[in-house]
Amino acid sequence: EIVLTQSPGTLSLSPGERATLSCRASQSLSSSSLAWYQKKPGQAPRLLIYGASSRATGIPDRFSGSGSGTDFTLTISRLEPEDLAVYYCQQYVGSPPITFGGGTKVEIK
Amino acid sequence: QVQLVESGGGVVQPGRSLRLSCAASGFTFSDYGMHWVRQAPGKGLEWVALIWHDGSSQYYADSVKGRFSISRDNSKNTQYLQMNSLRAEDTAVYYCTRDIRSKYFDLWGRGTLVTVSS
């Protein structure tokens, strides 16, 4: 099973600042197998990024993804108050088990 | 409107059973593999089960293998999760989600809460 480790656990930043979230895999992944989701309390998860760097439909361009191999990054270029959420990376290499990282909580100062 | 709507959650005693449903609308349900993903209180997301678009194959997380069963009825645009021998650690919000190219999930329901408690 591929284990995804996200860091930091919590990120506290002011509006307008840049947020950098890390996701490290226990073994090398194809970039096409890495996705990022946003989860707000009481809401369904929302797909942000697929294929490590492609934005999903309707996602603002302040969200971007990058990385390859075992190290992937989600960047929020200019934090907005509505970006308060927990962010999860996920790997899905074509067959189960599918795994999620433990999440990074983004707090707005 | 493209959407997934879960139902069937509730409070159930340990060892009992519950069946969740997920009704799909606004897209060709039979073209997509479907999953269940859960989130326990205060915890992260956990993948639970997958069923192929035609129902021919099913896969399960080790934590539910042998107790849970995923199925679908493409004529009713609905998938199901039969949960048997429920445990306290199965308490979670259960989400139905759509598979895209065996790579990611692009559409999620709002979830249904399952509480296992005596």
Q: What is the pLDDT along chain B (118 residues), one digit of tens a residue?
A: 999 999 999 999 999 999 999 999 999 999 999 999 999 999 999 999 999 999 999 999 999 999 999 999 999 999 999 999 999 999 999 999 999 988 899 999 999 999 999 9
pLDDT of residue B12: 98
Q: What percent of chain A has pLDDT over 70?
A: 100
pLDDT, mean of residues A48-60: 97
Kindly list the residues of chain B whose beta carbon comes within 8 Å of any beta carbon in chain A.
35, 37, 39, 44-47, 50, 59-62, 95, 97, 100, 102-106, 108-111
Q: Which of B61, B104, B108 sits opposite A92 (nearest CB)?
A: B104
Residues 6 or more apart in contact with residue B20 via CB below 8 angstroms: B6, B7, B8, B9, B36, B80, B81, B83, B94, B96, B112, B114
pLDDT of residue B81: 98
Name the band, by pLDDT with cuts 50, 70 and 90, for residue A33: very high
Chain A residues in contact with B37 (beta carbon < 8 A): 45
pLDDT at A109 over 90: no
Strands A63-76 and A19-29: antiparallel
